[in-house]
Structure 1
């Protein structure tokens, strides 16, 4: 595992290289280091403002990460006109570098600290649409139930886990916490998270998966009831068949 000193040294080297790159007209720290300095486990999150085509600059920086920092793998996460290239370095250090057109180099939330360059005016990313979160919630519940009927235990477990995530996201939106990737889940009060303990799948068999799905569906309805009781009532009727415990454990399960 990387040390704090190694991580900080690599971050400073990358920022120095960025300042010497004519195509990089701005750089910023993002993530936890931009807010509270991060902790022992924080990775490196940077954003570069790029003058000219992103592709050529990304290609040069990718070669640099592999050649000078021994990158093991990378993948891309597009975000609007920007691309976040995510690298894995030795000792499990993750380096996320966002490449944004110079005109769009600027913060989209509080996790931003400019190192050099002139960022555009801040633009807050909107929270996830509540309607979509609700829709994904009932979608995941329905598909988990279907997978149980088809005896596809692993796929059912995946959908139940995804349903739990939607309940957490809905609660985060309601209470004003970050909703993506469960970033605000640790801020939720126990009365919100406690019902989800029962939605953890402990074994891959029909009885256990149905029990966990029932608990996750109850948690979804309970969360909806706090913001839209009428919708919660309508969905509770539709989803009632998903919340009936299976009669007998399937001994063939894992």
Structure 2
């Protein structure tokens, strides 16, 4: 895998290329690179401000071609973001990950605390919205129901999928309640033991029917406990129904 020196050289090349590109009006670091909390394994998150409201597509194409030629990119793919911007994710040799956001000049600005401007003028932006709590709860009971249905149908792999997905929603719900980062379980390591300790028993250890039913019961139990902390009235309505699935 990459060394910190290899990753830092890549960052320096990206900064120099941005400073020389007249269509780029600003560059900022986000993620751990912006907050100084990164470590030897951290990837690179960069936001580019692009001149003109219609210049993003051209900048994406030009920068993609340059990054492929300059670094020998192995693969890239896109994530949609808020507004008119685009996040293009690059895999470089040595497992260097580069997350490059192209934003119109008017949308160049912090949407969260992890932001450090290297050049350009940031504009005030609305923050990224947190996940909708009712949607997370809805996914939770949906996943629990479908896990049980898959068990009755004898579909062990699909049942394991839904059990694991239910645990993900439980972690998101707990992070929401405690005002911790929710995306990609980034706040999971900050959860208190009262939340995480019961989660160990939710892990699926084999695809046998008894084991899957045990894991589903453990996951539903932990979910019901979190629901009771987050919304006791809703937990009173959903708890008995969730118990029927165990």
TM bucket, shorter chain: over 0.9
What is the 5 A alignment of 1:51-200? 51-52=51-52, 53-80=55-82, 81-200=84-203
Matched, 1:14 2:49: no
Calculate the aligned-residue CA RMSD, in Å: 1.0
Please say if residues 28 and 48 of structure 1, whose CA atoms lie closer than 8 Å, have aligned partners that are also in contact: yes
Please say if residues 199 and 222 of structure 2, whose CA atoms lie closer than 8 Å, have aligned partners that are also in contact: yes
Distance of 2:139 and 2:151 partners within structure 1: 18
Question: In the alignment, what sits opposite 2:230?
Answer: 227
Please say if residues 85 and 103 of structure 2, whose CA atoms lie closer than 8 Å, have aligned partners that are also in contact: yes
Gaps of 5+ in 2: none
194-203 vs 118-127, greater mean Cα deviation: 118-127
Q: Normalized against structure 1, the TM-score is what?
A: 0.93
Distance of 1:67 and 1:151 partners within structure 2: 50
After TM superposition, where is structure 1 displaced by more than 6 Å over at least 4 residues in a row? none
Question: In the alignment, what sits opposite 1:247?
Answer: none
What is the 5 A alignment of 1:196-215? 196-215=199-218
Gaps of 5+ in 1: 244-254
> Displacement of 1:122 after TM fit?
4.5
125-134 vs 193-202, greater mean Cα deviation: 125-134
Aligned length: 243
Q: Normalized against structure 2, the TM-score is what?
A: 0.96
Distance of 1:152 and 1:51 partners within structure 2: 52
> Displacement of 1:124 after TM fit?
2.0
Distance of 2:150 and 2:171 partners within structure 1: 22
Please say if residues 30 and 46 of structure 1, whose CA atoms lie closer than 8 Å, have aligned partners that are also in contact: yes
Please say if residues 107 and 125 of structure 2, whose CA atoms lie closer than 8 Å, have aligned partners that are also in contact: no
> Displacement of 1:228 after TM fit?
1.4
Distance of 2:190 and 2:4 partners within structure 1: 26
Q: Secondary structure at the match of 1:143?
A: helix
